[in-house]
Structures are given as structure tokens and as C-alpha cells.
Amino acid sequence: MFGPANDAEVADWVRGLGLPGLVDVHVHFLPESVQRKVWAYFDDAERNYGRAWPIHYRGSEQQRVETLRALGVIGYAPLVYPHKPGMGEWLTEWVAGFAARVPEAVPTATLYPEPSVVRYLDAALRDGARCVKAHVQVGGYDPREEVLDAAWGLLADAGVPVVVHCGHGPLPGEFTGLSVFEDVLRRHPRLTAVLAHAGMPEISRALDLVARYSRVYLDTTMVGVGFTLESAPLPDDWTARLAEVPDRVVLGTDFPSVPYPYAEQVRAIAGWAQAPGLGEPFLRAVLHDTGARLLALGER
Ligand SMILES: [Zn+2]
């Protein structure tokens, strides 16, 4: 087996690569009331997704912060996302407060197609937001909506990465699919976009976008773990294509709402690194260096 056998081994294993720790661009912290609703949805996953989804890390907020610390995660983007109008600004303000009390967390923001979006996004960027989450499936919106055009432009100009859930997995939405989001990239080719879940299940198309747009990245969230391999198998040329863009892949995990231990995601990545042309330089890039650069760690 390559990589850490369990969560207790993760931090030491990462230090063994010569890294100060992990940088995770895709974790979630939410206001308690929202977090409870999200977990209730996962608890009903057999009805919602057609399969059970037992949340692995269901502690208090403080316990979850400490779990990440124990795993050696030294920097992360706590991502929030609205499912209806009127929540984006409130969530963005809440997460700024969270980042102010948790040193490993960078301030983030979110967006939603609504008249106030440019105002609150611009304010968040001025206040130091370093990463933005856009959830096309949960939000149920078209990312090409005109009201969002200026928001994408603002992010492209600021060079602040947006983690975009625009793939069809785990459930397709009205406007999911990488061809839809590519329309946004065509208009804003300088946008720094991190395709969450490597665009699952359209992983090959996600790699095509990485090849075509120099500021597009993939995150590893739920990619290559047992839970998703059946529904979203990796393309046969996955590692060969990673070797072409080793600095455009970043660690993401969806902590805490995953149905398996954190170590399993790290092991999946360690397994890819066994392929020709990858190895430890690839691991150092994915697990720390690229994420640290995207989140501008060390510049605070
Ligand atoms: Zn997520």
C-alpha cells in the first residue's frame, strides 16, 4: 500500500515527503443551522442519491478544526455555498468570521446569481477573500447568467481562484456539465477556476479544459476513492495526463462530509504518484505547493 494506512499516520507521512503539511482547497464549514440541514440531507442519502452516505466526521466545529490540525492540514479553504437567493452575502460574512478565529482557514466567499452579487463579492475581495465557491448543482443556476458575468470578471481580474462544482456528479443539475462552464471560460479565459471533483464524471473533459485554459485546475475531491470509483471511473490515461500538468492538480477532500476517512483520499493520490513521470515531486505539488500558491499562503 502506498500512502498513510489511516488518519493517525497522515501527518507524519506528509512530513516524510519534506512538506510542512497539507493544503486542502476544498473543505466545508457552515453555520451550525445550515450544517445540520446538510447532514440531514446526507442522512437521507439513500433516497436523495440512491445510496447511503454516512458522514465520517460529525463532531462539533471545534472538534472538526482539531481533526484537520491532527491530520497536519496547515492551510485550507472553508467553502460555503447558497442554494437560494439572499444567502450568499450572509454565508460570506459568516465564513469571514470563521477564518478570523481559525488561523489555518483562509477567508473565502461565495456567489449566487442575484442583483447584489457584485457588491458583496467585491466587498469580500477587498476584505481579503482568497478563494470563492460556486456550486452550480446545489444552486441550480446557469453560470452563464448575465448577472454573474461581472462577478466572473471581478474574480478573473483579482486572480482569486473559484472552486466550481459544475460536474454532473453526484447528481446532474439543470446547468451542470463542463460544456456549460466552458462558455464562462470562453468569456473569461483568465479566470482561475478549480474544477471541483475533477469535473466528475466528465474527468477527461476536465483535463481538456486544463489543457486549453492556463488558469484552470482540478481538485482531487472524492476522486479515485472506493466510494466513487464505480460511478466515476478514472480514465485509462489518467496518470499519463496528470504527468502533462502536474502543477495543475490540487488537494481537495470535502471534509467533513465524506463517507470514508481522510487518509483514503491521500492514499488515492499516493497511488497515482506511483505512475511514471509523477513520483514525489507530483505529491509535493498536489498536497501542498500548488494549493499554497492558489490560496496565497505565506502572504498574510
Ligand atoms: Zn464540496
Residues in the 5 Å CB sphere of ion ligand 1: 254
Q: What is the mean pLDDT of residues 240-268?
A: 97
Question: What spacing in Å lies between the alpha carbon of 111 and ligand 1's midpoint?
Answer: 15
136 or 162, which is more confident? 162
pLDDT for 152 equals: 98
How many angstroms separate the alpha carbon of residue 214 from the centre of ligand 1? 23
Ordered by where they begin, the domains of the chain are 7-295 (3.20.20.140)
CA of 119 to the centre of ligand 1 (A): 25
- The reported pTM is 0.96
Distances 7 to 3, 13, 21, 69 between C-alpha atoms, Å = 11, 10, 14, 11
What is the Å distance from ligand 1's center to 167 Cα?
A: 12
Mean pLDDT (the chain) is 95
- How far is the centre of ligand 1, averaged over its atoms, from the C-alpha of 1 (Å)? 27
Distance (angstroms) between ligand 1 centre and the Cα of 265 equals: 14
pLDDT at 300 over 60: no
- Report how far ligand 1's centroid is from the alpha carbon of 239 (Å): 23
